[in-house]
């Protein structure tokens, strides 16, 4: 099963980034041309926020373009394991996974973000196999969630359906790749 990121979600992110960049530029131009803004602490606060917001939303714009034109699947599940383009995790074979589950995080009063959590059998070995930047993200996810997390936001299917299908298939594949029980005499 290959799941690609939703193009409409990437376009919406791109539009928001362009809108915020235009707003920051307009506010900065207004503040520079009208010196009355810089006479108060509140004006300086807005000036600094707009100056810092411009590169922040510029990075968001670049990331949105990158996501919009990415031809790789966001999440790929097959008989070998799970691979993702999220966070530099790459692929994980079913032999290395002990459990697949879904977790959710209350991001705001009205929004819950749902994640696919992959719990490795040997977390230390898995984290050690990653690059430096990804190691830190994976180690923090292991502490907070008990495994690495893959957000299920911006995909063309419902997160519950994705997590349910992957969890069911994953439990079969994990059992298939499980080691035989020890012989007790």
The number of domains in the chain is 2
Enclosing H/E stretch for 174: helix 159-176
Say yes or no to pLDDT of 59 above 80.
Answer: yes
Residue 117 forms part of a structural domain: yes
Strands laid side by side in the 75-77 sheet: 2-3, 75-77, 81-84, 90-93
Judgement on whether residues 82 and 52 belong to the same structural domain of the protein? no
Q: In this structure, how many other beta carbons lie within 10 angstroms of the beta carbon of residue 40?
A: 10
**b/e 118-140 (16+ beta carbons within 10 angstroms → b):** bbbeebeebbeebeeebeebbee
Q: Domain for residue 183, yes or no?
A: no
Confidence of residue 161 (pLDDT cuts 50, 70, 90): confident
Q: Which residue has the tokens 């074979």?
A: 93
The answer as to whether 182 is a domain residue is no
Largest CA distance in the chain: 88
Domain carrying residue 46: 2-68
Mean pLDDT on 161-165: 83
Mean pLDDT for the stretch of residues 61-74: 82
Q: Using a cut of 0.75, tell me whether the model's pTM lies above it.
A: no
Query: Do the domain assignments include residue 184?
Result: no
Q: How far apart are CA 80 and CA 173, in angstroms?
A: 9
Could you tell me if residue 99 is inside a domain?
Answer: yes
Asked if residue 108 and residue 45 are part of one domain, the reply reads: no
Please give the Cα distance from 71 to 83 (Å, whole number): 15
Q: Is residue 181 part of a domain?
A: no
* 8 and 64, same domain (yes or no): yes
Residues 86, 135 within the same domain: yes
Q: How many CB atoms lie within 10 A of CB 25?
A: 14
Any idea which of 2-6, 49-53, 80-84, 127-131 has the lowest mean pLDDT?
Answer: 2-6
């Amino acid at each position: 099963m290959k799941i690609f990121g939703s193009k409409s979600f990437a376009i919406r992110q791109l539009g928001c980034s362009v809108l915020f960049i235009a707003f920051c530029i307009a506010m900065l131009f207004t503040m520079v041309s009208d010196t009355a803004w810089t006479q108060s602490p509140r004006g300086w606060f807005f000036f600094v926020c707009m100056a810092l917001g411009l590169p922040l939303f510029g990075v968001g714009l670049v990331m949105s373009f990158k996501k919009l034109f990415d031809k790789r699947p966001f999440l790929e599940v097959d008989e070998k394991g799970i691979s993702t383009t999220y966070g530099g995790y790459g692929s994980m074979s079913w032999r290395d996974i002990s459990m697949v589950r879904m977790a959710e995080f209350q991001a705001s009063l009205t929004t819950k973000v749902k994640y696919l959590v992959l719990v490795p059998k040997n977390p230390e070995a898995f984290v050690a196999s990653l690059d430096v930047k990804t190691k830190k993200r994976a180690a923090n996810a292991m502490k907070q969630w008990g495994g690495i997390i893959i957000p299920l936001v911006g995909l063309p299917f419902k997160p519950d359906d994705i997590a349910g299908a992957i969890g069911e298939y994953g439990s079969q594949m994990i059992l298939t790749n499980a080691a035989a029980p020890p012989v007790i005499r």
